[in-house]
Amino acid sequence: MEKFNNLFICDNPLVKVLITELRDINTQSVKFRRLIREISRYIVYESLRDVELTSIEVKTPLDLAKGYKFSNKFILAPILRAGLSMIDGAIDTLTDSQIRHIGLYRNEETLEPVEYYVKLPDNIPDNTIVIIMDPMLATGGSAISAIKTFKKRNAKNIKYLSVIASIQGVKNVLENYPDIKIFTGALDNELNRNGYIVPGLGDAGDRCFGT
């Protein structure tokens, strides 16, 4: 299989088991949302391995202890709709983050992303890590559009989180933005002619929201 420098697959056995349940056609919306929430916590956790820390001291009941705090602030950016399913797990982990929504849908015929909601500051400060999240990275069009939106606003440090990605989508994103790090729970080989990841899990938005 092709190797991608900036792709990180969270292949912890727990994530593998949870994604298997998520893919299952018999998994209904309530369980589907719970699974994505849990998986998202682990993917966020993996995505934090390289973040910078600042040394601090805290007072324990007995003495001073050396410790750490994050050097950066975080923006969590779910892509509507399906990205919403990842936000609860992400904010459980990074409790002190800003949440900034990006509204995108794919045109069903062209598969091109259409932007319908963006409300962001003109400038993202340099000390901010932007974590974009969407459970499905298929052709990569939506990811590229969301990354572009943040880059236009000077975001310097962007991570992209998905639950399932396709090889083609990852390739497309990293060819356009080699500096982005992608974290995913699973990497699937194929896209079908409608741009769905195969075997994937079907339409993530529909399965999350019961539509």
Could you give the CA distance from residue 135 to residue 90 in angstroms, rounded to a whole number?
12
Which tokens belong to 169?
Answer: 């989508």
The answer to whether the beta carbons of residues 145 and 115 sit under 8 Å apart is yes
Residue 113 interface partner, choices ligand URA, ligand PRP, none, CB cut-off 5-8 Å depending on type: ligand PRP
Of 131, 136, 144, 180, the one binding ligand URA by CB under 6 A: 136
22 forms part of the interface with ligand URA (CB under 6 A)? no
Amino acid at 9: I
Exactly one of 33, 106, 149, 207 is catalytic; which is it?
106
Beta strands in the chain (DSSP E): 7-9, 53-59, 64-70, 73-80, 98-99, 102-106, 113-118, 128-133, 136-137, 157-166, 181-188, 190-191, 197-198
126 forms part of the interface with ligand URA (CB under 6 A)? no
206 tagged catalytic = yes
Could you give the CA distance from residue 197 to residue 80 in angstroms, rounded to a whole number?
18
Q: How far is the CB of 196 from ligand URA (least distance, A)?
A: 4
Q: How far is the CB of 167 from ligand PRP (least distance, A)?
A: 12
Q: How far is the CB of 204 from ligand PRP (least distance, A)?
A: 5
In the complex, the residues that contact ligand PRP under the rule CB under 6 A are 79-82, 104-106, 111, 113, 134, 136-143, 169, 195, 204-205
Of 131, 138, 170, 187, the one binding ligand URA by CB under 6 A: 138
DSSP assignment letter at 159: E
185 forms part of the interface with ligand URA (CB under 6 A)? no
Q: Where in 64-103 is the site for ligand URA (CB under 6 A)? A: 82
106 tagged catalytic = yes
Which tokens belong to 165?
Answer: 């990605």
CA distances from 93 to 39, 44, 124 (A): 12, 7, 22
Chain residue at closest Cβ approach to ligand PRP: 205
Q: How far is the CB of 200 from ligand PRP (least distance, A)?
A: 10
- So which residues are the catalytic ones? 106, 110, 203, 206
